Amino acid sequence: QHDDLTLFVQTSPSFCCAGLITEAMRNKIEEITGVPVVSITYDGTGGDKNDVVIPYLAFPRTKVREAVQEAPAG
């Protein structure tokens, strides 16, 4: 357990098979861990692709994990 984690950033080059698989698993990863997953694909075109993480850094989710742990089973 790493209670200090508030964000997973998954990065990959365009059309990377491992990256595509991990990106497909992001909802399940977030469901299990309570930590949001942001995927950034670098395709060589440049731009401000890293800006997608700014809202997560400015407003980290801290209550999601607690809510997941406290939710009743069923």
3-62, pLDDT tens digit by residue? Answer: 788 899 999 998 889 889 999 999 999 998 889 999 999 988 888 999 999 998 898 876
- DSSP E strands, 1-74: 8-13, 37-42
pLDDT tier, 66 (very low <50, low <70, confident <90, very high otherwise): low
- pLDDT at residue 64 tops 60: no
Taking a C-beta distance cutoff of 8 angstroms, is the pair 38, 8 a contact? yes
pLDDT of residue 10: 92
User: Phi/psi class of residue 12: alpha, beta or left (left: φ > 0; alpha: ψ in -120 to 50)?
Assistant: beta
Tell me which H or E stretch contains 19.
helix 17-24
